[in-house]
Structure 1
Amino acid sequence: MSHTEGGPESDKRMLRREFLTVRNRLTTDELRGAADSLAEHALALPELTRARTVAAYVSVGSEPGTLALLDALHARGVRVLLPALLPDDDLDWGAYAGEGSLARVQHGKRMALFEPVGERLGPDAVTEADVVLLPGLAVDARGMRLGRGGGSYDRVLARLARAGTDPSLVVLLYDAEVVDTIPAEPHDRPVRAVVTPSGVRRFS
């Protein structure tokens, strides 16, 4: 079956493989340089300058690095919420209190994640965020994000919609991951902006 007949989900699977292959070729120096530039551009975002609570995540592997950004937000006095993966792939949340407040958690045969130690605030804690920083693999000209396919952030976005909250959705990517078009499904929600190592791009 050609990927055009498989619908958006099989198109997305193919795209995910392509973007992950490129990411996995990045060197340690490239990853470090990208993380520093990304933090610099993100911290200048008006949405993050004004934010009192930011829901973020700890990057793993070749993802665009977030630790420098998390530390800078924490140093500013921003309340930073970080996810903890639940058995059903939903996300609980905990507060970030510096790099010592993270623990490496192995989720079955899948990836190990760095999650906040300390009190769990419940899946609804994300509804208190002024800004939600989303992981992803690509974003298109409409602001449609290609996620990793686990569905955790689809649940987060659905929870925000149900709660009637409207935080700024921002995705963190590499420059080559901003593309013309990504196959979208009815439940996909556009992001407000993408931050890459070379700058910020906004979507209307």
Structure 2
Amino acid sequence: MLRRELLGVRSRWTADDIREAGRELAERALELPELTRGRTVAAYVSVGSEPCTLALLDALRARGVRVLLPALLPDNDLDWGEYTGPDSLTQVEHLGKMALFEPSGTRLGPDAVTAADVVLLPGLAVDARGMRLGRGGGSYDRVLARLERADAHPRLVVLLYDTEVVARVPAEAHDRPVHAVVTPSGVRRFPLA
């Protein structure tokens, strides 16, 4: 029910609102020490009413950061490829799911994410504990489990709109808190992550 409510709010955003929020979000994110020091960042290309990530991806790349983007596999796991600019993206229709922008170059394998210094996560909300509510497909739960199995400890940062920082989201035993949330108006850190 919470997912439907949050998606309903997002559906009222205009394309201009989304672009402006994305520009502001990129400015805030680029101030993060994690992104200043990080050499490899796993990110994603926003779709629909998600906070726009393209300005952030291009700014990271301009800084010389290696940006990895996901490609959805048939089992909902994620493979990864390198972002080298807008021309390196292709729109992929996934049966029964939304169309996604994915890297068109060489696939690096699902374990490529374990080399990231920072993982930027999509979501619908985050709560005061740092628990992230995703869309429910489980793709990023698999990423987080893969990081744990590999004993990799990148900084986990979720990108959201201001209204999506809420008091509490449902969490299950496998859920892990994020280190920070970036919204158009600022950054909030979660020390228990």
Range class of TM-score, shorter chain: over 0.9
Structure 2 equivalent of residue 57 of structure 1: 44
1:153 aligns with 2:131: no
Identical residues among aligned pairs (%): 78
TM-score, L = length of structure 1: 0.93
1:114 aligns with 2:97: no
Q: 1:144, CA displacement in angstroms? A: 0.2
Q: 1:109, CA displacement in angstroms? A: 2.4
Structure 2 equivalent of residue 66 of structure 1: 53
Aligned AA for 2:166? Answer: V
SS of 2:91 mapped into structure 1: strand
Q: 1:32, CA displacement in angstroms? A: 1.2
5 Å-filtered alignment, 1:30-109, equals 30-109=17-96
Aligned-residue Cα RMSD (Å) equals 0.5
Kindly provide the CA deviation profile for residues 21-60 of structure 1, in whole angstroms up to 9, marking residues without a partner as x.
0000001221111000000000010000000000000000
- Tell me the distance in 1 between the aligned counterparts of 2:75 and 2:29: 31
* Unpaired runs of at least 5, structure 1: 1-13
5 Å-filtered alignment, 1:113-152, equals 113-152=100-139
- Tell me the distance in 2 between the aligned counterparts of 1:88 and 1:102: 21
1:177 aligns with 2:164: yes
- Tell me the distance in 1 between the aligned counterparts of 2:15 and 2:139: 28
- Tell me the distance in 2 between the aligned counterparts of 1:90 and 1:39: 26
Q: 1:122, CA displacement in angstroms? A: 0.2
* Unpaired runs of at least 5, structure 2: none
Query: Based on CA coordinates, which of the two structures has the bigger radius of gyration?
Result: 1
Q: 1:167 aligns with which of 144, 154, 158?
A: 154
TM-score, L = length of structure 2: 0.98
* Number of equivalenced pairs: 191
Aligned AA for 1:188? Answer: D
- Tell me the distance in 1 between the aligned counterparts of 2:16 and 2:69: 26
Q: Which moved more, 1:114-123 or 1:25-34?
A: 25-34
Kindly provide the CA deviation profile for residues 62-94 of structure 1, in whole angstroms up to 9, marking residues without a partner as x.
000000000000111100000000000000000
